[in-house]
Amino acid sequence: MWCPSKTNVIGAIAVAALTQTLTSRACGPDFPNQLLLMGDRAVLEAPVANFRLEIERIKPSTKPQFTAIAPDGQGVIRQTYDADMVDLESAVRQLKISTNVIREYAEVRGAIRQFLTDQDQWDGLWHYDWTGDEPVRVHDGNQPKFPTLIVPNGLPAEFADYLDGAIRFHQGQPDAARQEWNRLLDRPKEQRRYRSTWACFMIGKTYLGSDPAKAIASFQSVRELAKDGFADSLGLAAASIGWEARAELDRKNYERAIELYFDHYATGDPSAVVSLENVAGRIYRADPPILTRFARHKLARELMTAYLISRHNLPDHLMDDWLAAVENAGATDVDGADRMAWAAYQSGDADAAWRWLNRARGKSAVALWVKAKLLLHDGRASEASALLAKLIRLFPNEQDWFGAYKPSEGYSWRYAPAVREVGGELAVLHLARGQYVDALDLLLRTGYWVDAAYVAERILTADELLAYVKRTWPEKPIAETTENNTTDYEWGRMNNDQVPEQIRYLLARRLVRIGRLDEAQPFFPPDLKLTFHAYSQAMKHGRDANLPAMDRAEWLWEAARITRYWGLALTGTEVEPDWHAYGGSYDLGNTSESRPKEAEIVPVTEVERQRVGKHVAEPDERFHYRYRAADLAWEAARLLPDDSDATAAVLCEAGSWLKIRNPMLADRFYKSLVVRCRHTETGAEADRRRWFPGIDQPERPDTIH
């Protein structure tokens, strides 16, 4: 069976290419995805859905009767305590009783809160004991003990009853707790306005695991009480829906549990997503007859499909079993046919994917995306490109597919919005067809900065890049430039606001590397213009044959030191060999050499290889600007007299720039230092050591701060 997302997409060569890529990134930051290293998988790989957004899409449209009350970051324990105290203060005011009881009540409730907090912390303190045949989970420290507490006198009756039940509940006496809470519920309505919902809710919780039917009845009563006007300061009416679903789940009434969890989600409680995920996780491995039962239930069917398409690398048979179950259930004329096509594509069943696409009502973005991938698989790249271009135009008006994601390569596992993935896929197709400027534009606009930088530096000519940047990314007024952009940019990512400045900056450095300094100047960011001006002036005067030799040497030495200490910022390559994209801190290898050679849909063409071969840093060495700095220093030294301290200083410092990274190239500086400056202190010391003498760490050129 054909599979677009697993090993038989490209075969062993894809695995080898991926291994090469991962090896070069064994440690470091969370590197972003590079589409150009994925070969055909860049356009064939099955997207993975975002489960939460899929749930948002398929939730029933009915307006919820109740609204969840979130803890607002304070935690449920503190939320409960605060709501309890507010309710008591209100009741005391209404009943006009002594406020002293509030303080006494707060002490008891505070003790319960502290116990629950300690218990919660203790639950997280454990380790595995590996001394036996099987590991055993062992808690660290002593389990907190519930304190001895007494209900204060003078409390409003319903608060006394509820607190008495809460104490007994935490003492492990559920029957006694229910007795106190039922006493509360037996009181006249006017005497239990505040704690009826609380008592009924807790009664339901005590029946979980022992009597689900009674638990369900209690949770339903919570909502009836709330509708009748009883206080619900914790939003227990909304919460009871989720707990009722839990009870139905315990009874293996999955369809009803799913309906309730969707109702719970509609209240605004985010935990309902986790619950729905857990339900789906329980049933997706069921036997085929049971799966067919679920497939006949609309919400269960949509939930299961959402669950499966939001998983990465599920065993093939699980998706196949679900696709067969939906077919067997006869649920083929459904609104979610586009998602079923998605699921079929993920499982590698092209025939099923086409079949479900033909059943889809309308042409949703998801359906178009899956169709584009199927067309690519069939070798119809032009039709697929047209569909992908249409998808990008659809995006602002078609939000139902925003949740389609695709996992990043390597181990970063970042997820990207579908519009970014679609744009990236179209860019890769443009690149394979020789539409290099279009590819660059899409890669920039969809956030694939490292891929875009490769196209800009290695494939486009300098004139093509210059024309594109001038036309597409004009300089912004200073007031419009974004601030604090460097952090994301330095690690290979950027948002759309950063693109204009950074692509202009990349162009500036490329122009500097090929000696077009006057053209480069306008494209540098403001904070580097002064530095670049100093470098430009030093180069101009250093190469001016009309100046005296000593003056030229001084300027060339200035240019050399600026290049050495500011070279990454002024001339560094964004990708190989310098990797300015990562601040020069990581070497991700050679992009062109890492690109899969056996790709058929998006191959590396001969034209691309020729272009890449022409646009190489000189020299093609890691931190190439250090070598350029050394060459400038060599020029300066040739203009200086022998046996001069200045000459010795230039040769010694410049040679030290290379002595560790490339001792063979540094050797010419050492030999020249000994031959030309033997009678200087530095030259004599070099001769004695047979290598460069130690020198103080030189400061960065201070003329350009």
CA 313/CA 282 separation, integer angstroms: 18
CA atoms lying within 13 Å on the CB side of residue 258: 25
* CA 435, 517, 613, 577 torsion-angle sign: negative
Spell out, as residue ranges, where the chain has pLDDT lower than 70: 1-30, 395-416, 477-495, 696-705
- Residue 548's SS3 state is coil
pLDDT of residue 13: 26
Neighbouring-strand partners of residue 136: 129
Q: State the Rg of the chain over Cα.
A: 35
Element holding 425 (H helix, E strand): helix 418-432
Distance CA(379)–CA(615), nearest Å, equals 31
For residue 21, what pLDDT is reported? 31
**What's the CA gap between 28 and 5, in Å, rounded?**
27
Tell me how far apart the alpha carbons of residues 554 and 542 are, in angstroms, rounded to a whole number.
7
Burial 356-379 (b: 16+ CB within 10 A, else e): bbebbeeebbbbbbbbbbbbbbee
The residues near 629 (Cβ < 8 Å, ≥ 6 apart) are: 560, 561, 563, 564, 567, 654, 657
DSSP string, 500-511: HHHHHHHHHHHH
Domain spans of the chain, in order of start: 640-704
- What pLDDT sits at residue 18? 28
In the numeric block, the tokens 């990236």 are attached to: 424
How far is the C-alpha of 237 from the C-alpha of 266, rounded, in Å? 13
Helix (H) or strand (E) holding 415: strand 415-416
Burial of 222 (0-12, 13-18, 19+ CB in 10 A): buried
What is the rounded distance in angstroms from the CA atom of residue 690 to the CA atom of residue 674? Answer: 9
- What pLDDT does residue 455 have? 98
Predicted pLDDT at 277: 96
- Summarize pLDDT for 175-210 with one digit per residue, the tens: 999 999 999 999 999 999 999 999 999 999 999 999
What pLDDT, on a 0 to 100 scale, did the predictor assign at position 478? 54
- Among 512, 258, 113, smallest CA distance to 520 is for 512
How distant, in Å, are the alpha carbons of 63, 329, 391 from that of 301?
22, 10, 27
| Count of Cβ atoms closer than 10 Å to residue 463 Cβ | 9
Report the C-alpha gap between 386 and 577 in whole angstroms.
36
- Which helix H or strand E contains 129, and what residues bound it? strand 126-129
Residue 167: predicted pLDDT = 98
Q: How many other CB atoms sit within 10 Å of the CB of residue 537?
A: 16
Tell me the residue length of the chain.
705
pLDDT in tens, 343-372: 999 999 999 999 999 998 777 888 999 999
